[in-house]
């Protein structure tokens, strides 16, 4: 306790230096904290996004979990077969396409189309209006707010829509659809225009006689792993993947850049923090050599003198580390805002996501840095020759 | 380049079904080019005859002879993706991927057009879209959308740089404060023997400029030295020819322009208390 009070007094005696040291460590700590949030932020956010849809298994024709590749055939039959499997609560086929809204005298509005029959679960949240119904005269559309604003109509209004289902085919003739509701789609980015219709409506709009789907969205009842095993056994020609597997794949392929930059910047930040604390403590010790030698002469042990340096370092890092948390949180909001401007990033996804493990790691890294940085000045203090130092300082 | 719908992607997906056939057997198989990554991963050689199928099950394969390997054009958007690709002649792609639809043999993804006069691109796009309804024509040189992610990344890196500079400035100020503290007695002595404040200030500023320029130049040299190592590491990590770090004279100049005034300002700010104090008070310990 006495050692702690003594260290506090040593720091308070140099308020400018102490304040700058704490601010410097806080700035470095804030950057370190942000890099820890960034290292797993996208993965955590992406997993939350996938889980929020309500389906925990996706079944495709190939090992690509993204729509737009090779479609699976006889989708209705496959969905029905999978839905009957033990451990499967629901299986819904989903098909994607592109579309263009045509309005007289106005520019064409491009949009992403999904064809999916609403079941017990649906990957959209209705905000206003009605959900999709079976009507095909005209077929019904649920759109996102961005598209509704661009179209400029009201719920119940009709729009002329041309679908693009297969790039190898000639463009299809536009058809009329009725907007019945506005919904939020979890994977939409800020500027994306999205609409969903029933799969039957999309097949008709595509002029398609094939019963194809990009994927089957499956909700398990007894865990995703068991559902995947059951699907593999029943349909070895299809590729079922869990949300966890998709996240793991994205972690090793899609999000590596941010993990790398996070690792590089964390290392640089720690190195910087190490240098900062080492220099502060070493110069401080060098300036206090006479004082330390005098204290040793008065009976302070080597351990006590070294502990004083260690405690000073710990207090600088502790205060800076605590200050770094709100600073880092504010900084992460700014950086997240910058990165979310990237096209194609869903509006509900975040690059910087807080996890308790980030806080623990942050504390552990700062403590390790403080210990390493204090080692050299502690060694200086511990091996200080009392008589020689006092004589040199007095003569000097 | 003109290609069938998703031809390359489908062929890449079907690469699991790719099998090497005796390389020595004479064959009329058409030629293909294979990416370096695919060649290495499947332990193929130029001259080998391989079977390709556009079906995931490997059904209806066709034989092709590897005429050469190529390095895929580095694409930042595909960082981390293993470039397992083959290049075929258009008729081969069409015959390999055509299904029951008679339009399949007549369809392509896109037609690249080179204009005699670049200035007519906009008008040509308009004419094409009017003349052939349902056709989407766009300028190939319009890279704005493609560059958008990198513009965002640049902003992100700038933000990180700003935070780093702020942290460095605080560090520098703390360091300078301590160094100046050590000179308290020296400055006091100089004041007592008649040096004017402006003279000492000149000395402090000159010293600051020298230290700041030396530090900034050392930083530039260090970054140039690290440039090669960082590029080699990431090129190895992602198996790409992309350049990740490129220190241009402009970047170096910008760094020096920021670092030198900051360094001088830090030294000046930390010396201010000494210049304001009386000589006799500065010499007290």
**A360 and A211 together in one domain:** no
* Closest in A20, A167, A256 to B5, CB measured: A167
How many other C-beta atoms lie within 10 A of the C-beta of residue A199?
A: 22
Q: Is the pLDDT of residue A72 over 80?
A: yes
Residue A23: closest CA among B271, B260, B263, B169:
B169
| Residue A313 domain boundaries | 2-50+255-395
Radius of gyration of chain B (CA): 32
**A359 and A302 together in one domain:** yes
> What's the rounded mean pLDDT across residues A9-36?
86
Give me A33's structure tokens.
Answer: 């904290």
For the full predicted model, state whether its pTM sits above 0.80.
no
Q: What is the pLDDT of residues A206-259, one digit of tens each?
A: 877 788 888 999 999 988 899 999 999 999 988 999 988 888 877 766 667 788
**A66 and A146 together in one domain:** yes
Identify all chain B residues contacting A257, using CB atoms and an 8 Å cutoff: 79-80
What mean pLDDT value characterizes chain A? 86
Q: What pLDDT does B280 receive? A: 60
- Domain contains A183: yes
Contact A62 B182 (CB under 8 A): no
Give residues with Cβ within 8 angstroms of A250, minimum separation 6.
A42, A43, A46
**A134 and A216 together in one domain:** yes
* Closest in B56, B107, B174 to A17, CB measured: B174
**A44 and A77 together in one domain:** no
**A95 and A203 together in one domain:** yes
Q: What pLDDT does B283 receive? A: 57
**A89 and A233 together in one domain:** yes
> What's the rounded mean pLDDT across residues B194-209?
83
Better-predicted residue by pLDDT, A269 or B275:
A269
**A222 and A274 together in one domain:** no
Could you give the 3-state DSSP secondary structure of residue A184? strand
Q: What pLDDT does A364 receive? A: 94
Q: What is the pLDDT of residues A96-140, one digit of tens each?
A: 888 888 887 777 888 889 998 877 788 888 899 888 876 667 888
- Domain contains A391: yes
Q: Is the pLDDT of residue B11 over 80?
A: no
B132 φ/ψ angles, rounded to the nearest 5 degrees: -120, 90
**A168 and A295 together in one domain:** no
Rounded Cα distance between A193 and B52, Å, is: 38
Q: Is the pLDDT of residue A302 over 80?
A: yes
Residue A389: closest CA among A277, A252, A291:
A291
Instruction: Choose one of A206, A237, A268: the last residue of a domain.
Output: A237
Contact B103 A331 (CB under 8 A): no
Least confident of A36-50, B6-20, B72-86, B145-159: B6-20
**A82 and A151 together in one domain:** yes
**A184 and A308 together in one domain:** no
Domain count, chain A: 2
CA A100 to chain centroid: 31
Identify all chain B residues contacting A342, using CB atoms and an 8 Å cutoff: 148-149, 152-153
pLDDT band at A67 (very low <50, low <70, confident <90, very high): low
- Give the best-scoring range by mean pLDDT among B10-14, B21-25, B182-186: B182-186
**A280 and A214 together in one domain:** no
Least confident of A64-68, A117-121, A183-187, B122-126: A64-68
> What's the rounded mean pLDDT across residues A69-92?
89
Instruction: Choose one of A191, A206, A237: the last residue of a domain.
Output: A237
Could you give the 3-state DSSP secondary structure of residue B284? coil
Q: Is the pLDDT of residue A326 over 70?
A: yes
Could you give the 3-state DSSP secondary structure of residue B147? helix
Q: What pLDDT does A92 receive? A: 92
* Closest in B155, B171, B179 to A24, CB measured: B171
């Amino acid at each position: 306790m006495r050692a702690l009070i003594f260290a506090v007094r040593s720091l308070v005696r140099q308020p400018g230096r102490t304040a700058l040291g704490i601010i410097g460590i806080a700035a470095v700590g804030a950057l370190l904290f942000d890099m820890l949030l960034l290292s797993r932020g996208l993965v955590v956010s992406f997993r939350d996004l996938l889980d929020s849809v309500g389906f925990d298994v996706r079944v495709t024709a190939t090992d690509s979990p993204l729509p737009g590749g090779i479609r699976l055939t006889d989708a209705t039959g496959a969905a029905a077969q999978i839905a009957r499997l033990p451990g499967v609560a629901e299986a819904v086929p989903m098909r994607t396409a592109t579309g263009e809204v045509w309005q007289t005298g106005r520019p064409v509005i491009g949009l992403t189309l999904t064809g999916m029959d609403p079941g017990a679960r649906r990957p959209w949240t209705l905000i206003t209006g009605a959900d999709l119904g079976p009507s095909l005269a005209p077929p019904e559309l649920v759109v996102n707010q961005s598209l509704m604003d661009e179209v400029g109509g009201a719920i119940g209004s009709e729009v002329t829509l041309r679908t693009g289902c297969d790039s190898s085919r000639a463009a299809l003739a536009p058809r009329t659809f009725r907007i019945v509701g506005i919904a939020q789609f979890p994977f939409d980015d800020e500027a994306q225009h999205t609409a969903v219709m029933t799969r039957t409506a999309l097949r008709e709009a595509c002029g398609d006689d094939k019963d194809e789907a990009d994927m089957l969205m499956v909700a398990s009842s007894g865990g995703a792993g068991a559902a995947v095993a059951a699907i593999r056994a029943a349909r070895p020609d299809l590729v079922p993947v869990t949300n966890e597997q998709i996240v793991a794949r994205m972690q090793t392929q899609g999000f590596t850049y941010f993990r790398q930059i996070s690792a590089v910047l964390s290392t640089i930040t720690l190195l910087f923090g190490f240098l900062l604390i080492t220099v502060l403590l070493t110069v401080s010790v060098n300036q206090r050599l006479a004082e330390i030698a005098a204290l040793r002469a008065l009976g302070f042990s080597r351990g006590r003198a070294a502990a004083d340096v260690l405690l000073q370092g710990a207090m600088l890092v502790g205060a800076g580390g605590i200050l770094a948390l709100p600073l880092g949180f504010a900084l992460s909001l700014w950086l997240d805002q910058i990165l979310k401007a990237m096209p194609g990033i869903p509006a509900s996804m975040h690059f910087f996501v807080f996890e308790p493990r980030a806080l623990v790691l942050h504390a552990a890294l700062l403590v390790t840095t403080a210990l390493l940085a204090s080692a050299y000045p502690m060694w200086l203090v511990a091996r200080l020759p009392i008589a020689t130092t006092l004589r040199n300082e007095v003569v000097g | 380049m003109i290609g069938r719908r998703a031809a390359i992607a489908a062929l890449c997906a079907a690469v699991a079904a790719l099998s090497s056939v005796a390389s020595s057997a004479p064959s009329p198989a058409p030629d293909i080019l294979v990416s370096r990554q695919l060649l290495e991963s499947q332990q193929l050689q130029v001259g080998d005859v391989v079977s390709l199928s556009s079906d995931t099950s490997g059904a209806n394969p066709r034989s092709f002879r590897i005429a050469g390997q190529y390095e895929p054009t580095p694409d930042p958007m595909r960082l981390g993706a293993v470039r397992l690709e083959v290049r075929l002649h258009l008729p081969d792609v069409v015959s390999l991927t055509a299904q029951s639809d008679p339009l399949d043999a007549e369809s392509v993804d896109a037609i690249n057009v080179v204009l005699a006069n670049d200035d007519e691109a906009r008008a040509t796009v308009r004419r094409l879209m009017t003349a052939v309804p349902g056709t989407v024509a766009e300028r190939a040189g319009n890279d704005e959308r493609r560059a958008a992610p990198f513009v965002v990344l640049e902003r992100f890196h700038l933000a990180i740089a700003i935070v780093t500079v702020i942290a460095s400035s605080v560090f520098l100020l703390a360091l300078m404060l301590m160094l100046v503290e050590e000179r308290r007695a020296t400055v006091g002595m100089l004041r007592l023997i008649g040096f004017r404040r402006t003279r000492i200030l000149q000395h402090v500023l000159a010293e600051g400029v020298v230290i700041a320029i030396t530090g900034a130049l050392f930083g530039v040299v260090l970054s140039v030295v690290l440039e090669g190592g960082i590029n080699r590491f990431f090129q190895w990590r992602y198996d790409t020819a992309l350049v990740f770090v490129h220190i241009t004279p402009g970047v170096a100049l910008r760094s020096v322009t920021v670092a030198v005034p900051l360094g001088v300002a830090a030294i000046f700010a930390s010396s201010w208390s000494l210049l304001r104090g009386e000589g006799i008070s500065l010499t007290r310990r």
